Every structure is written in structure tokens, then in C-alpha cells.
């Protein structure tokens, strides 16, 4: 039986190649909207980052996301991204 191929994507912050499911997709639509895409299916150009706060803070420091898109920096997006990743890292109380 053949093994199913696991799609790999490269994190724009760390440069690591990881399975697509272990990364968080950021989507940039044609109308200029930048969104966090947890489903990985939003329309537009997409790129991936690892799901940890340290990497997101590194992206903010280096302006990695907006540099990748050749856009001026929007610090509020980085704050939103860091807050979202923190919710992913917190253990669920269930």
C-alpha cells in the first residue's frame, strides 16, 4: 500500500519545511485584505508561518509578513496575529 503524500510548506519566518497542517496560513486577497486563514482555503495569495508566539514576535520585529508582500507595515495585524497564536497555544479547559 502506498503512503499518502503529505504536502509540505515553508515557514516565511524560520525557513523550515513542515507539514501544511502544522503551519498557520496568512491570506492576502486581491482587494488588499490580509487575513489569518485557519482553514487554509481562503482565496488569495497565501503564505505560512509556524504556530508559536516567539516566531510571530520575530516576524513583527523583522516586518517579515509585509516585507514578503512588499507593503507598508501594519503593526495592528501583528498584534492580532500574536493574540490568535496565543489562543492556539493555551491548553483548553474542557
pLDDT in tens, 9-33: 999 999 999 999 999 999 998 888 8
Q: Please state the pTM of the whole predicted model.
A: 0.84
1: in domain: no
Whether 71 and 46 have beta carbons less than 8 Å apart is answered as no
- When divided into structural domains, the chain yields a total of 1
CATH number at residue 39: 3.30.1230.10
Is 3 part of a structural domain of the chain? no
33-63 per-position pLDDT tens digit? 899 999 999 999 999 999 999 999 999 998 9
Residue identified by cell 510571530 is: 56
Q: Which domain holds residue 50?
A: 8-89
In a domain, 43, yes or no: yes
Amino acid at each position: 500500500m502506498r503512503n499518502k503524500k503529505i504536502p509540505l510548506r515553508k515557514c516565511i519566518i524560520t525557513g523550515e519545511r513542515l507539514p501544511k497542517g502544522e503551519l498557520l496560513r496568512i491570506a492576502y486577497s486581491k482587494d488588499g485584505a490580509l487575513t489569518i486563514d485557519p482553514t487554509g482555503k481562503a482565496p488569495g495569495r497565501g503564505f505560512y508561518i509556524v504556530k508559536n508566539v516567539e516566531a510571530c514576535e520575530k516576524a513583527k520585529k523583522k516586518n517579515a509578513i509585509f516585507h514578503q508582500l512588499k507593503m507598508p507595515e501594519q503593526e495592528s495585524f501583528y498584534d492580532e496575529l500574536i493574540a490568535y497564536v496565543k489562543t492556539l497555544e493555551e491548553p483548553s479547559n474542557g
